[in-house]
Amino acid sequence: MSFLGYPRLDGSVGTRNYVLVIPQGLIAKTIGDFVVGTRTIRTVDHGSGRTANDRARIARVLIGLGRNPNVASVIVHAASPGVGYPELTAERLANEIAASGKRVEIIDPAKDGGVYGAITKGMKLARMMVYEASKLRRVEVGDEHLCLGVKCGYSDTTSGIAGNPAIGYLFDKVVKAGGTAFFGETTEIIGAEHALAKRAVTPGVAQAILDAVAHREALAKSTGLDIRTINPIPANIKGGISSLEEKSLGAIHKAGTAPIQGVLQYAEKPKSKGLFFVDNWMGSYSIFVGYAAAGSNLVMFQLGGGGLTGRDLMEGSPAVVAPFLWCTGNPRTYAMARDNIDFYSGSVIESKEDPQAAGERLYKTVIDIASGTLSRSETLVYTEPIDLCLEEPRF
Amino acid sequence: MTAKRAILMHSKDNVATSVEEIQPGDPVQVSGGAESRALTATEAIPFGFKIALEEIPQGALIVKYGETIGKAGRTITKGTLVHVHNLEGTRARGDLERMGK
C-alpha cells in the first residue's frame, strides 16, 4: 500500500517532478521547447472578456497547476496574464503558488528586456530549476498521497460491465487507504443521481449533487432538443448505449462505493481526503486539467471504444503535470490500440476474472506509474490543446 | 449448438448485454451474479447490444443495472434487440418539453 514519490514542503507527494511555466503563450512555449522537464498549458483562454466567475476558474487552474504535487518549482511570466484583471496578474498567481513553499520566479518583458530578454532569463531560470529538481529522490510513501481523477469516454456497454467497475474497485481501495479520488461529468450522471445522492456524507452534499444535475438538465431541456441527439454521442450509440440514463448508470460504476465527501467546482481543491464529485463538463480537453489543478497526481481515461475504428495510435488527453492512463474493458478496443492501453479489463467480458480481480491489477499498474514507470501516452510528445471548462458568456 | 453469452447486471433487469455476436435463432445463456437463464434470440444482437429477456409492453420501463434506462417506444418481444429504435430516453427531453408534453 505504498508508492515511490517526491515529497513536497506542503506535505503532498508528487508522482512526477516538473518545472511549470505559466500562463500560456510564446514565452512559456519557447522556454519549454528548449528546456527538458518543463511543462506549460496550451489554451487560448487568458481571461479577456470573461466574467468574474470564469476569471476565477482560470486563476484556479493556473494556481492549482502550480501547487500540484508533481511540480517542483514554477516560472510565471507577466507578458499579458489576464490582460490586466487583478485576479490573473503574475504577482497574484506567483504569491498564491509560493504559499505552498515552492520556488516561484516571475519574468516580465517590461523589466527583463522585452520578450527576447524574458525568454532568455526564463530559459536560464528553467535550466537551473530542472537541475535542482533532479537532485530530489523518490521516497516510499503511503497511498493516502494518491489523488486520482477519472473520466470515462467513448463509452460503450463494456464500460459499465468491466472498465468502470475495475476503476471503482481502485477508487474504493485508494479512498480506504486515506487517499483522494475525483469523478464528475454532471451531464453523465443524469438518471443516476439518486444512487449517488444516497452515498453523500451529509444531506447538504446529497442536495448539492441533485442541484448540480437539476441545473444541467434544465440547461439541456432549454435547447428544445432530445438530449439523445447530443449525448450519448453517436460513438456511444454505435457501441450499444441506448439512452443518457443507460450511459450514466454505467458511468457511476467508476466511482466505486465509498461515501461522497462533497461536490467540487472545476479546478477546486478539496479541503479533506476521500471521494469527491466534481461538477464539470465531460470534455477530455478540459476535465483532466481541472483534476490536475485540484491536486490530482495521476489521471485516467476509461475508454469504451466500441464506436471507434482504426485508432491504433492515440494521443493522451491534456493533464499538463499529471500522468495520464488509458484503460479499457473492451477486447476489441484493446486489440485495436494495444500500444496505447495502460490497463485492460476486457478479461471481465471474456469471463476470465471478476471486476475485483481486474481492479486489483489496475491498482498495481497505478502504483507502478505513480512510482515513475511512464504511462503509454507519456512516451509521446504531443498532447491535445486545452479547452478550459468555463460556464458563462463572453462579452 | 453452443449457447451465446449475455450478461445480466441486476436481478430486476429485463434486458441483458450480449458479449458475443448473436445471430437470429441462436440459443443465448444469460448469466450475472447467482442468476442464469436461457432464451432464444429472434434477431441479431451485436456484441455490446441488449436483448429483451421478456415481452416489454409499449410504455413500460426498460431496466438495466436494476434502474430505469428508458421506456419502450413500442412493444418489444422477448429475444429481440433493444436499442434506440424501440427505447425512448426519459430524461433531459427538451423536445417533449418544447411540444408541451
B89, A195: Cβ pair inside 8 Å? no
Whether residue A116 is found in the same domain as residue A147: no
Contact B69 A242 (CB under 8 A): yes
Q: Where are the domains of chain B?
A: 4-98
Same domain, A84 and A228: no
Residues of chain A with Cβ-Cβ distance to B49 below 8 Å are 157, 240
Give the burial class of A33: count Cβ atoms within 10 A of its Cβ; 0-12 exposed, 13-18 middle, 19 or more buried.
Answer: exposed
A283 closest CA partner among A187, A148, A160: A187
C-alpha distance from residue A160 to each of A248, A251, B12 (Å): 9, 6, 17
Question: CATH number for the domain including A120?
Answer: 3.40.50
pLDDT number for residue A307 = 87
Asked if residue A205 and residue A246 are part of one domain, the reply reads yes
In a domain, A329, yes or no: yes
Beta bridge partners of B36: B31
In a domain, A297, yes or no: yes
Using a CB-CB distance cutoff of 8 angstroms, which residues of chain A are in contact with residue B17?
Answer: 157, 161, 240
The sign of the CA dihedral A275, A279, A282, A288 is negative
**Residues A121, A166: one domain?**
no
Helix (H) and strand (E) counts in chain A: 13, 14
Instruction: Judge if A82 and A169 occupy the same domain.
Output: no
User: A368: part of which helix (H) or strand (E)?
Assistant: helix A355-370
Q: Which residues of B touch A195 (CB under 8 A)?
A: 67
CA angle in degrees (0–180, nearest 5) for A285-A288-A293: 120
Q: Cβ distance B28 to B6 under 8 Å?
A: yes
Q: Do the beta carbons of residue A123 and residue A35 sit within 8 Å?
A: yes
Q: What was the pLDDT predicted at B10?
A: 95
A60: nearest Cα among A8, A20, A96, A102 = A96
Per the domain annotation, does A249 fall within a domain? Answer: yes
pLDDT at A133: 98
* Mean per-residue pLDDT, B15-24: 97
Whether residues A90 and A185 fall in one domain: no
Q: Are B60 and B15 in contact (CB under 8 A)?
A: no
Q: Using the predicted structure, report yes or no on whether residue B101 has a pLDDT greater than 80.
A: no
| Residue located via cell numbers 432538443 | A225
**Predicted pLDDT of residue A371:** 98
Pair (A254, A129) in one structural domain: no
Q: Which of A239, A282, A284 is nearest to A377 (CA)?
A: A284
Does residue A340 belong to any structural domain of this protein?
yes
Q: Taking CB atoms and an 8 Å limit, are A224 and B97 in contact across chains?
A: yes
Transcribe A182-193 into DSSP letters. Answer: EE--GGGGTTTH
Chain B: give the shortest CA distance to residue A200, in Å. Answer: 19
The shortest C-alpha distance from A247 to chain B (Å) reads: 8
Backbone phi and psi for residue A275, each to the nearest 5 degrees, phi listed first: -95, 130
CB contact under 8 A, A240 and B92: no
Cis peptide before A331 (omega within 30 of 0): no
Residue A11, in any domain of the structure: no
Are B50 and A242 a contacting pair at CB < 8 A?
Answer: yes
Residue in A221, A349, A351 closest to B94 by CB: A221
Q: How many beta-carbon pairs under 8 angstroms link A with B? A: 102
Which pLDDT value is given to residue A82?
73
Query: Do A320 and A232 share a structural domain?
Result: yes
From B48, B91, B96, residue closest to A191, measured CB to CB: B91
Q: From CA A79, how far away is CA A27, in angstroms rounded?
A: 8
Tell me the residues of A at the B interface, defined by beta carbons under 8 Å apart. Answer: 156-158, 160-161, 187, 190-192, 195, 217, 220-228, 237, 239-240, 242-246, 249-250, 306, 330, 332, 349-351
| pLDDT tens-digit profile, chain A (395 residues) | 899 999 999 999 999 999 999 999 999 999 999 999 999 999 988 899 999 999 999 999 999 999 999 999 999 999 977 788 999 999 999 999 999 999 999 999 999 999 999 999 999 999 999 999 999 999 999 999 999 999 999 999 999 999 999 999 999 999 999 999 999 999 999 999 999 999 999 999 999 999 999 999 999 999 999 999 999 999 999 999 999 999 999 999 999 999 999 999 999 999 999 999 999 999 999 999 999 999 999 999 999 998 899 999 999 999 999 999 999 999 999 999 999 999 999 999 988 999 999 999 999 999 999 999 999 999 999 989 999 999 999 99
Three-state DSSP class for residue B51: strand
Report DSSP state, residue A239.
T
Residues B52/B76, Cβ–Cβ less than 8 Å: yes
Which ipTM score applies to this complex? 0.97
Chain center to CA of B13: 8
pLDDT score for A149: 98
Considering the domain architecture, whether residues A152 and A187 belong to the same structural domain is answered as yes
**Inter-chain touch A306–B97, beta carbons under 8 Å:** no
C-alpha cell recorded at residue B58: 409499449
For chain B, counts of helices (H) and of strands (E): 1, 9
Of the candidates B5, B46, B89, which has its C-beta nearest A226's C-beta?
Answer: B89
DSSP letters for B62-101: EEETTEEEEEESS-B-TTSEESTTTEE--SSBHHHHHTT-
Contact B69 A227 (CB under 8 A): no
Where among A135, A154, A187 does a domain terminate? A135
C-alpha cell at A216: 444541467
DSSP bridge pairs for B68? B63
- β-strands A139-142, A2-7: how paired? antiparallel
Q: How far is the C-alpha of A294 from the C-alpha of A270, rounded, in Å?
A: 7
Q: How far apart are CA A110 and CA A90, in angstroms?
A: 12
Are B5 and A351 a contacting pair at CB < 8 A? yes
| Measured distance CA(A252)–CA(A155) in Å, rounded | 12
A192 shares a domain with A107 = no
Domain hosting residue A128, numbered range: 18-135
Q: List C-alpha distances in Å: B7 to A8, A50, A256, B48, B55.
A: 46, 48, 20, 10, 18
Residues A106 and A219 grouped into a single domain: no
How far is it, in rounded angstroms, from Cα A255 to Cα A260? 9
Whether residue A200 sits in one domain with residue A120: no
Burial class from Cβ neighbours inside 10 Å (0-12, 13-18, 19+) for residue A39 reads buried
Domains in chain A, number: 2
Do residue A242 and residue B82 have CB atoms under 8 angstroms apart? Answer: yes
Backbone angles phi, psi at A112, to 5 degrees: -110, 25
* Cell numbers given for A100: 505552498
Class of domain B4-98: mainly beta
